[in-house]
Structure 1
């Protein structure tokens, strides 16, 4: 329950890598997020420090990322932030900031996109079971010509088999 949920806006820095794993589809890519600020002295927007995040997507989100995300595109990513530190082969501490994405979308303030709903695979058809006859059969009336006809057809079927 104590998770850090973030929403970052940046550009795709690496081509998404898509894999089918035992738990389902997975995709990852790097997102570059550069802070921008107004430099009053020069009167221009200036780029600040760039942070890089590894964005992880799973299941249907991974499939959709692989289909439509490309290097250089502006994205909005929302998800759980995870910061890892490790020691690598004789190097000092190394840190990585990962985002387990919940939602990913194109930044429409910087361009346009066309949304297309993902097609879900169809479930295999289930054989329909006949409805049981819940009605109590009415007693046969020897005077009713329809009952006599049904009786004759039933006798004919039994005689054939």
Structure 2
């Protein structure tokens, strides 16, 4: 199956909900409402077009970060794989667009933001002062060109 990757912009339509599985894996689910807005030359006004609501699923560390960072009404940009979910009885099948997110962030056209890297427990590699100094020197050399 060929995956379709999309990027959408819209507003968070409902509070993010986070779930945990028995193995500790986390998923955060939220809904993002997108609206196509266009200038109608006949009326000389901006017009709201069709509204589409996407369910967005975020996994693992992205799930944690999204659950702690976004709230209802906030503008976001979402990138990920498009999935079309099918449900309902035969003869009355319904379809719902869903995005398995690889990235989610605030849409900075509408405001400002501050980035904070969360503390993660476990899995970190301790680095000696000598290694940090060496890495800093290499980074400075690279930046100076």
With normalisation by structure 1, the TM-score equals 0.72
> Does residue 45 of the first structure (1) align with residue 59 of the second (2)?
no
The residue correspondences of 1:9-158 to structure 2 (distance < 5 A) are 9-21=9-21, 22=23, 24-88=25-89, 92-123=92-123
Higher RCO (C-alpha under 8 Å, 6+ residues apart): 2
Displacement of 1:42:
2.0
In the TM superposition, structure 1's runs of 4+ consecutive aligned residues that sit over 2 Å from their partners are: 122-126
Alignment partners' CA distance in 1, 2:33 and 2:78? 11
Look at both structures and tell me which one has the larger radius of gyration over its CA atoms: 1
Gaps of 5+ in 2: 127-145
Root-mean-square deviation (Å)? 2.1
Alignment partners' CA distance in 2, 1:125 and 1:8? 36
Displacement of 1:77:
0.1
Displacement of 1:45:
1.4
Displacement of 1:91:
6.9
Would you tell me which structure has more strand in proportion to its own residues? 2
Structure 2 SS opposite 1:67: helix
Q: 1:62 to 1:95 in 2, by over 3 A?
A: same
